[in-house]
Amino acid sequence: MTKPLPKMGSRRNGRIGSRKNARKIPKGVIHVQASFNNTIVTVTDVRGRVISWSSAGTCGFGGTRRGTPFAAQTAAGNAIRTVVDQGMQRAEVMIKGPGLGRDAALRAIRRSGILLSFVRDVTPMPHNGCRPPKKRRV
């Protein structure tokens, strides 16, 4: 009988924790998407790769409580706590959406100790779109 091949990532050869290296990220972008039902906070590096994220739903809030300012504040705190440990000092903030969690999330980000270079509102605004097609005459 043939011998079974050892797994490359098995615990026996001790390579489990060596794959994930602790990155040092000095600057990043914090995206806050505040809808009426939920608030999602995503932290990316400058190139746009996601480092950390959190939402009011993943923090344990359910139903109508997900749209509250306190839920947004908790979500922002959870998302930022991990990146502060990785060494982030500066960030840009992009806020999108009409929800109640906009200001609360921004207040939580300010309190975290990260220096904010700018805060930008990137809520999409309709501008009546392109020209509609001609009416059909039958």
pLDDT single digits (tens) 10-61 = 555 555 554 455 678 889 999 999 999 999 999 999 999 999 999 999 999 9
Residue type, 64: T
Model's pTM, two decimal places?
0.76
Residue 6 belongs to some domain of the structure: no
According to the model, what pLDDT value does residue 15 have?
A: 52
Cβ partners under 8 Å of residue 4, min gap 6? none
Residue 73, in any domain of the structure: yes
Cβ 82 vs Cβ 52: under 8 Å: yes
At 40, which CATH number?
3.30.420.80
Domain containing 72 equals 27-121
Domain contains 135: no
Which among 45, 54, 51 has a CA at the least distance from the CA of 92?
A: 45
Residue 20 lies in a domain: no
Q: Is residue 7 assigned to a domain? A: no
Residue 129 belongs to some domain of the structure: no
pLDDT band at 138 (very low <50, low <70, confident <90, very high): confident
Domain contains 63: yes
At 70-122, the pLDDT tens digits run 999 999 999 999 899 888 999 999 999 998 999 999 999 999 989 999 999 99
- Count of domains forming the chain: 1
